[in-house]
Structure 1
Amino acid sequence: MSFTVRRITADDWREVKALRLRALADDAAPIAFLDTAENTAAQPDRFWQERAASASGDAPAAQLVAVTDAGEWVGTVTVLPRHDHADAGLVVGVYVADGHRGTGIIDALFAAAAEWARERGLSALVLEVHVDNARAEAVYARNGFVRDGEVITEGFGREHVMRRPLLECGT
């Protein structure tokens, strides 16, 4: 199976919604996402159109997706501005579909996120991972993220903050 990683366009809103619903149906969703499938499914089309537009084009955020050669959307990450640390992008919405994990998709998504962030002058990527989500934390660590010592308790429980420096040499 081969895939391409690309930034979404505003016209991709239907696929963005479908992939988000797929992510929220995953067994890890309760400790990985701050939303539910029920809430997400209830959002009107306008919500999804605005969401896609705010992460495409020249928007200050970017949603990157992995799409198979057959056209199936199988992974995503989003990088948002981080207002409390202007030098870093906040990575959210990390997901790779079951059956596609372990194929390099997440590595390619993080590489694309790092490239996008570097092009905007950011020096790091930051993310938050639930303290009970060891599988995700291991993937993040493999991709250069390290705990920065901060634990936050906003949202739905305790989360480690992890940071990945972005070096000029392409990491």
Structure 2
Amino acid sequence: MDYFIHAVRADEWARAKEIRLVALRDPVASIAFLETYEQALAKPDAFWQQRTAVAAEGIRTRQFVAEAPDGRWVGTASVLVERPAEGMRFGEAAVVDQTHVVGVFVRPEVRGRGVADALFQEAIDWSWSLTGPPIERVRLYVHASNLRAAACYRRIGFVPTGRTVLLEGDPAARELEFEMRRPAVQV
């Protein structure tokens, strides 16, 4: 794979905005993301600067990007740290120390080339490396209709937990929770 995976830097906010807007124009964006292209486009640059700066700090959030040899960003995934004492972000409140992968996107022209795998490897490795109480699991949600994404997550090693979240505005729509548990330490 000829793609360089790295954590986003604060000065890359315009590129982070651009790939988010591309992601929100994907044909499955309506079931993959919780915001629309129009909502994201309407946000001021200060929003994107702040969002990228927080992700660059890597304390509560970290965004990873895949960069092609020509410098173009071809994929992204973000990780949110969720601790039991901090309440709920999405779905149920954390009962264990965990991270939550969100905002996963790979440009259509590079899908199937290992970009998603590499992004997830960085996200998972970062999760396991966090200091403080050890992260016990990495979780994510996928729309029940997003079969392509669910297959990708299973291939990477995520398994369904059986928990679901209803989506506002559509009583029939469900997000399925998947997880990867921290591997046991070999001694």
* TM-score bracket for this pair, using the shorter chain length: over 0.9
Match in the other structure for 2:152: 139
After the TM superposition, which parts of structure 1 deviate over 4 Å for at least 4 consecutive aligned residues?
A: none
Query: Which sections of structure 2, spanning at least 5 residues, go unmatched?
Result: 88-92
Secondary structure at the aligned position of 1:56 is classed as helix
Match in the other structure for 2:102: 92
After TM superposition, the structure 1 = structure 2 runs for residues 69-148 of structure 1, keeping only pairs within 5 Å, are: 69-82=69-82, 83=87, 84-85=93-94, 86-120=96-130, 121-148=134-161
TM-superposed CA distance for 1:58, in Å, is: 4.0
Residue by residue over 1:38-71, the C-alpha shift from the partner in whole angstroms, topping out at 9 and shown as x without a partner, is 1111110100001001111243110000001110
Question: What is the TM-score of this pair, normalised by structure 1?
Answer: 0.94
Secondary structure at the aligned position of 1:126 is classed as strand
Q: Identity of counterpart residues, as a percentage?
A: 39
| Distance in 2 between residues matched to 1:19 and 1:33, nearest whole Å | 13
Question: What is the TM-score of this pair, normalised by structure 2?
Answer: 0.86
Query: Which sections of structure 1, spanning at least 5 residues, go unmatched?
Result: none
1:150 and 2:160 aligned: no
The amino acid across from 1:162 in the alignment is: F
Match in the other structure for 2:90: none
| Distance in 1 between residues matched to 2:12 and 2:158, nearest whole Å | 29
Worse-matched range after superposition: 5-14 or 55-64: 55-64
- Highest CA radius of gyration, 1 or 2? 2
After TM superposition, the structure 1 = structure 2 runs for residues 29-40 of structure 1, keeping only pairs within 5 Å, are: 29-40=29-40
| Distance in 2 between residues matched to 1:107 and 1:63, nearest whole Å | 15
TM-superposed CA distance for 1:2, in Å, is: 1.1
TM-superposed CA distance for 1:154, in Å, is: 3.4
Match in the other structure for 1:59: 59
